[in-house]
Amino acid sequence: GRLMAPFTEVAAEHPQAWFPVARTAEEIATPTEDNRYVGFPYTKYMNAIMQVDQAAAVVMMSVKKARELGVQQEKWVFLHGCADANDLWFPTERVDFHSSPAIRMMGKKAFAMSGWNVGEIDYFDLYSCFPSAVQIGRNELGIAQDDPRALTVTGGLPYFGGAGNNYVMHSIATMMDKLRAKPGTKGLCTSNGWYVTKHGLGLYSTTPLEGKWEREKPATYQAEIDAEKHPKVEEKPNGKAKIETYTVVHGRGGAEFAIVFGRMADTDARFVAHTPNDPATLADMVEREQLGRPGAVQSFADGSVNIFTPE
């Protein structure tokens, strides 16, 4: 709640925001009839909302063409640095679930291209489908938790509106307005696709570039990300195990089932399972911290879902 409350304050001031309402951290984090859990620990107010009617556009051209068309120079914004990279496609194969080698790498490459550093950025818009995406992006780009700079210029996907694959067009368009209003300032926008899988980053300013604009081909550094070590995955796990991370999926009527990513006690191989979906187990998983909790996992010959039973 504390992370996302400032996002709502930005949305409340944005003329195109779908939900221009400032909310407190407690209001965002507390489950109520209007703010039910969706995937514990996230409430509805922490989730991107795609049911919006929004549109945005960005016009790109060379300086030569802008002059030919009579575009006023005070409207020009330049892309100083950029990069894109992908984390491992299957989340089960990633080193952990709280980092992103791809965001770390593209931040390094984009800042090297621009000659800037993260301390020089005046405006951020970090992709914000869920709080975890913001936390991972912030940490990998080297933004301190207590940094006073806002992490969004729109209000983010849960509050400005998450217009499907077009949200970042809105964040870039808003960033252009912010930079034009204060010439010489610097902005950073990130994008994301799938499960914190596909990433892009752009660095912008009204200040013209010096020297040649040259972008490193992503393939030259993507191979380094792909080569990172990742855990073995056990598709048919049986035996003692522990919870690595988890969520409890809720419907409108309450908790429905839990998903566990776990590690085998003997091999440290990763597995995916459900828990028994009886109300007592699901309620316990919501009420008590489960990270590292021991138990036993079982697979089934008929191919049905693996089941992890906590001790």
> What's the pLDDT tens digit per position in 140-171?
999 999 999 999 999 999 999 999 889 999 99
Q: What's the CATH number where 261 sits? A: 2.40.50
Q: Is residue 231 part of a domain?
A: no
Q: Is residue 234 part of a domain?
A: no
pLDDT (tens digit per residue) in 213-262: 899 999 999 999 999 888 999 999 999 999 999 999 999 999 999 999 99
Q: pLDDT category, 212, cuts 50, 70, 90?
A: confident
Among the candidates 226, 254, 273, a domain finishes at: 226
Q: Is residue 233 part of a domain?
A: no
Length of the chain equals 311
Task: Indicate whether 215 and 111 sit together in one domain.
Answer: yes
Mean pLDDT of the chain: 96
Task: Indicate whether 193 and 112 sit together in one domain.
Answer: yes
* Rounded Cα–Cα distance for residues 79 and 205 (Å): 7
Give the H or E element holding residue 174: helix 167-181
Among the candidates 226, 254, 281, a domain finishes at: 226
Task: Indicate whether 150 and 216 sit together in one domain.
Answer: yes
Domain residues for 247?
Answer: 239-310
What is the count of structural domains for the chain? 2
Residue 211 has pLDDT above 90, yes or no: no
Q: Considering the entire predicted model, what is its pTM?
A: 0.94
Task: Indicate whether 213 and 272 sit together in one domain.
Answer: no
- The C-alpha R_g of the chain, in whole angstroms, comes to 22
Q: Is residue 232 part of a domain?
A: no
Task: Indicate whether 142 and 272 sit together in one domain.
Answer: no
pLDDT (tens digit per residue) in 159-206: 999 998 899 999 999 999 999 999 999 999 999 999 999 999 999 999
Q: What's the CATH number where 11 sits? A: 3.40.47.10
Structure tokens at 111: 């800042």
% of the chain surpassing 70 pLDDT: 100
Cβ–Cβ under 8 Å, residues 76 and 206: yes
